């Protein structure tokens, strides 16, 4: 049997990819509401980028713990570009007016962005420890298992601390052995070391600054997402019974790497 040549379409799985949009609304003319396809495509693209972010963050942790500064900086730069792309996609979604969204919103039923397992996994990889995150997904599901696994292993911050220790920076044993299931908290001892890093270890300081950029980029995406939701549905409750904008506002201005922000005034 002759093996079929790999084509652009087969390599990218375009048949499956382009047939994975299922609008559920029906307008007066019997066709789906025009803007529902945009809504679906944007969120599918988000999920593809989330998949790539998880791929990149796993490699960042590996290169950090291997002491590979150059590759870590390269990967963090790529992640920052992806975050900028995520923010830019909000501009596209905001071309949809509240009335246009309302025309198909009820068709979402219980579906909600809160159910994005990949986004919760990203939060967990970065260090967030929220016991309710995995519980939003069915027992035995792949999404729930991945969130639980991410919350039970070292975060990006933990990998960075090991990177610093391997470069000779004196971090206390209990800092390096801190329970990985606990959320990040500012630690004065870590901050003293970080100030020394900025003053005497240029390469490690560059990595620290890229982590600040990552933190800021993630917060920027959260802010744009909150304002987009507020612009589209105001203070209405979100789909699936979520609190909508009220909840999303509580996620703003919460740093991922608090120690890197605490030392700003000392440098």
Whole-angstrom CA distances from 125 to 29, 122, 135, 145 are 46, 5, 17, 13
Could you identify the residue written with the tokens 């084509």? 7
Q: Please give the pLDDT value at position 114.
A: 61
Q: What is the mean pLDDT of each run of 10 residues along the chain (267 residues)?
A: 85 95 76 85 94 98 98 98 94 85 67 76 93 88 95 97 97 94 93 97 98 94 82 57 57 84 91
pLDDT at 236: 52
Global pTM reads: 0.88
Give which of 179, 160, 152, 174 is closest to 259, Cα–Cα: 160
Which of 254, 132, 267, 119 minimizes the C-alpha distance to 186? 254
Question: Where on the phi/psi map is residue 154: left (φ > 0), alpha (ψ -120 to 50), or beta?
Answer: beta
pLDDT of residue 109: 46
pLDDT of residue 141: 94
């Amino acid at each position: 049997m002759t093996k079929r040549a790999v084509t652009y379409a087969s390599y990218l799985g375009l048949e499956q990819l382009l047939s994975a949009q299922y609008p559920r609304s029906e307008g007066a003319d019997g066709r789906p509401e025009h803007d529902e396809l945009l809504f679906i495509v944007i969120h599918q693209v988000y999920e593809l980028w989330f998949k790539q972010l998880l791929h990149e963050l796993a490699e960042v942790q590996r290169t950090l713990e291997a002491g590979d500064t150059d590759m870590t900086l390269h990967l963090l730069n790529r992640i920052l570009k992806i975050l900028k792309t995520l923010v830019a996609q909000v501009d596209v979604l905001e071309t949809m007016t509240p009335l246009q969204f309302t025309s198909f919103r009820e068709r979402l039923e219980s579906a909600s962005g809160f159910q994005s397992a990949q986004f919760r996994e990203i939060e967990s990889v970065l260090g967030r420890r929220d016991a309710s995150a995995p519980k939003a997904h069915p027992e035995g599901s792949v999404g729930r298992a991945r969130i639980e696994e991410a919350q039970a292993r070292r975060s990006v911050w933990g990998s960075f601390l090991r990177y610093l220790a391997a470069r000779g920076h004196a971090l206390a044993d209990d800092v390096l052995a801190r329970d990985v299931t606990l959320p990040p908290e500012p630690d004065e001892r870590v901050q003293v070391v970080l100030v020394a890093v900025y003053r005497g270890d240029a390469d490690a300081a560059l990595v620290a600054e890229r982590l600040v950029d990552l933190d800021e980029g993630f917060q920027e995406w959260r802010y744009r997402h909150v304002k987009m939701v507020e612009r589209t549905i105001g203070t209405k409750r979100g789909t699936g019974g979520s609190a909508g904008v009220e909840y999303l506002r509580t996620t703003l201005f919460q740093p991922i790497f608090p120690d890197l922000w605490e030392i700003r005034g000392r440098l």
